């Protein structure tokens, strides 16, 4: 590695749809929008042989608890936060136009880019040859922008106009070859829409991004019309970030024995099975809920659970439990009540009466059941429950299905008529969580573990009415 040249390392948090960044010149480093588990950034800096001297936040995050303050304390780095944000900790307050010399090779310019929040900042990173790119946080994303409604519907229109102006300002400031380094837009609900792009430049965005192609009124209308609900746990994130999150405790959870697991289940607590949904369907501890680590576990669990409910984690290995603990601490669920690793038989203490399975079907099975020609030993399709989000439902759904988005199901189960419930989503992950929740409530259920486009191919009528 050559000292004096600017390098930017991406630190993915794919489960939340976010990216953090470590920029360095071979000697010193800047970290932008770090997640709560700061050991990843310390380890990366160690591997690169660089010293973290600056940590920067683009905004007060709504979708995760920041690790910025803890990382700055651990490294002695300067902590750059908008001077306009009211926070409960010491920071270096920065504002539009500030320039910082990070080293002889790296300079940082602060650019006010309101829109995702009122005090949002972007950071232009320059090397010896000029601007390399810009850390845009929740401002200009790949093919979209950050959503403007997280501070309340009453501010959404104003912030959408700010987003448009901020994107135009960045486009005017930077050359076409400048790279775009956003925090959101990889599955995060902080993004107004999603993109499959892995990288982008300002020149690319000028060709594809609605904020740079549409006039302000059209951009605002299009952006606001495309917004759906966001996770309920977002309500807790901004407050935590403004108060100054402490260092996360990632020490192993206390191990629960089979009797304690039964006590927690009887108390109505959430005992979460982290294995794949296929393993869960085959056999699980009765009363447990399915949130596999092979999907966005923390997003959906954090969205659905009543905040403060004790959580016990069950995994195939201690490493699986530890990974789930790491995922949850990123959204402010500090410590699991307990954990256990092994098999359902071990969690049941050898008592087979404590075990359960789950019927699994494809859309072809549903079509056959609806036609009165069941292909397997499955219950009648009395109710078809679609747990996708509102925008997915409006784009097309199975005729006659009942729509209850997964985050609402816990409070709306009494809306479902009597009978067997066949549950589907877009691919099977959310349907597994919903089916387990219904099974725990005593309903007879079938988990449709299939991709939604297969519904039409199976002969089921798809409508948008």
Q: Is there a contact between 421 and 382 (Cβ–Cβ < 8 Å)?
A: yes
pLDDT (tens digit per residue) in 357-402: 999 999 999 999 999 888 788 999 999 999 999 999 999 999 999 9
CA distances in angstroms from 321 to 143, 192, 242, 258, listed in the order given: 36, 32, 29, 16
How many whole angstroms separate alpha carbon 183 and alpha carbon 191?
Answer: 10
- What does the block give as tokens for 2? 């050559």
Q: Is there a contact between 188 and 298 (Cβ–Cβ < 8 Å)?
A: no
How many whole angstroms separate alpha carbon 397 and alpha carbon 193?
Answer: 20
Domains of the chain: 7-243 (3.60.15.10), 258-356 (3.40.250.10), 359-463 (3.40.250.10)
- Mean of the per-residue pLDDT values for the chain? 95
pLDDT (tens digit per residue) in 317-362: 999 999 999 999 999 999 999 999 999 999 999 999 999 999 999 9
3: pLDDT strictly greater than 80: no
Q: Is there a contact between 343 and 318 (Cβ–Cβ < 8 Å)?
A: no
- What does the block give as tokens for 217? 């009124």
Sheet holding 338-341, edge to edge: 289-290, 270-273, 311-315, 338-341
Predicted local confidence at residue 378, as pLDDT: 93
Among 248, 241, 290, CA closest to 449: 290
* Least-confidence region, from 8-12, 189-193, 205-209, 327-331: 189-193
What value does the mean pLDDT take over residues 309-315? 97
Q: Give the residue, 377 or 263, on which the prediction is more confident.
A: 263
How many whole angstroms separate alpha carbon 6 and alpha carbon 343?
Answer: 48
CA distances in angstroms from 396 to 163, 392, 400, listed in the order given: 30, 7, 12
Among 310, 301, 219, 309, CA closest to 256: 310
Q: How confident is the model at residue 256 (pLDDT cuts 50, 70, 90)?
A: very high
pLDDT (tens digit per residue) in 89-102: 999 999 999 999 99
pLDDT (tens digit per residue) in 134-149: 999 999 999 999 999 9
pTM value > 0.95: no
pLDDT (tens digit per residue) in 101-139: 999 999 999 999 999 999 999 999 999 999 999 999 999
DSSP state of 397: E
pLDDT (tens digit per residue) in 31-65: 999 999 999 999 999 999 999 999 999 999 999 99
What value does the mean pLDDT take over residues 170-186? 95
User: Phi/psi at 221 (nearest 5 deg)?
Assistant: -60, -45
Predicted local confidence at residue 1, as pLDDT: 43
How many whole angstroms separate alpha carbon 190 and alpha carbon 17?
Answer: 9
Predicted local confidence at residue 220, as pLDDT: 97
DSSP 3-state assignment of 435?
A: helix
Contacts (Cβ under 8 Å, ≥6 apart) of 339: 252, 253, 254, 255, 256, 312, 313, 314, 315, 321, 325
Q: Is there a contact between 42 and 53 (Cβ–Cβ < 8 Å)?
A: no
Count the residues in the chain.
465
For residues 288, 290, 291, 292, the Cα torsion angle rounded to the nearest 10 degrees is: 120
What value does the mean pLDDT take over residues 407-431? 96
Predicted local confidence at residue 342, as pLDDT: 97
Predicted local confidence at residue 187, as pLDDT: 80
Predicted local confidence at residue 188, as pLDDT: 82
What secondary structure does DSSP assign to 386-424, as a single string? E-S-HHHHHH-EETT-EE--GGGHHHHGGGSPSS-EEEE
How many whole angstroms separate alpha carbon 87 and alpha carbon 89?
Answer: 6
Predicted local confidence at residue 131, as pLDDT: 96
What value does the mean pLDDT take over residues 197-226? 94
Q: How confident is the model at residue 451 (pLDDT cuts 50, 70, 90)?
A: very high
DSSP 3-state assignment of 176?
A: coil
How many whole angstroms separate alpha carbon 458 and alpha carbon 451?
Answer: 11
Predicted local confidence at residue 360, as pLDDT: 97
Predicted local confidence at residue 226, as pLDDT: 87
């Amino acid at each position: 590695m050559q000292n004096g040249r600017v390098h930017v390392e991406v630190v993915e948090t794919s489960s939340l749809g976010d990216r953090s960044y470590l920029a360095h010149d071979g000697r010193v480093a800047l970290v932008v929008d770090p997640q709560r588990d700061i050991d990843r950034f310390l380890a990366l800096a160690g591997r690169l042989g660089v010293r973290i001297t600056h940590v920067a936040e683009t905004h007060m995050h709504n979708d995760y608890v920041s690790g910025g303050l803890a990382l700055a304390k651990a490294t002695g780095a300067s902590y750059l936060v908008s001077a306009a944000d009211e926070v409960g900790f010491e920071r270096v307050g920065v504002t539009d136009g500030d320039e910082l010399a990070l080293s002889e090779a790296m300079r940082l310019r602060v650019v006010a880019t309101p829109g995702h929040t009122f005090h949002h900042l972007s950071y232009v990173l320059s090397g010896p040859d000029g601007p390399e790119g810009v850390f845009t946080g929740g401002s200009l994303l790949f093919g979209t922008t950050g959503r403007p409604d997280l501070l309340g519907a009453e501010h959404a229109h104003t912030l959408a106009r700010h987003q448009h102006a901020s994107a135009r300002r960045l486009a005017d400031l930077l050359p076409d070859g400048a790279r775009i380094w956003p925090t959101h837009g990889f599955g995060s609900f902080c993004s107004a829409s999603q993109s499959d792009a892995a990288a982008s430049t300002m020149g690319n965005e000028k060709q594809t991004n609605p904020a740079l192609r549409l006039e302000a009124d059209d951009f605002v209308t299009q952006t606001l019309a495309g917004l759906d609900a966001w996770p309920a746990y977002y309500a807790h994130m901004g407050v935590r970030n403004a108060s100054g999150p402490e260092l996360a405790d990632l020490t192993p959870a206390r191990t629960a024995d089979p009797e304690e697991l039964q006590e927690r289940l009887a108390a109505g607590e959430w005992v979460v099975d982290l294995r794949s949904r296929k393993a869960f369907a085959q056999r699980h501890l009765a009363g447990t809920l399915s949130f596999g680590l092979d999907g966005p576990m923390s997003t959906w669990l954090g969205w659905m659970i009543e905040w403060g409910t004790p959580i016990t984690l069950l995994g195939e290995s201690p490493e699986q439990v530890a990974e789930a603990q790491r995922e949850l601490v990123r959204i402010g669920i500090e410590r699991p009540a307990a954990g256990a690793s092994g098999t359902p038989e071990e969690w049941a203490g050898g008592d087979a009466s404590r075990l359960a399975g789950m019927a699994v079907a494809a859309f072809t099975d549903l079509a056959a059941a609806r036609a009165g020609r069941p292909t397997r030993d499955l219950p009648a399709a009395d109710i078809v429950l679609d747990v996708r989000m509102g925008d997915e439902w409006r784009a097309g759904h199975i005729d006659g299905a009942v729509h209850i988005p997964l985050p609402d199901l816990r409070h709306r189960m009494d809306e479902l008529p009597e009978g067997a419930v066949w549950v589907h989503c877009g691919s099977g992950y959310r349907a597994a969580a919903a089916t387990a929740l219904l099974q725990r409530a005593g309903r007879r259920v079938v988990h449709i573990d299939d991709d939604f486009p297969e519904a039409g191919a199976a002969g089921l009528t798809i409508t948008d009415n």
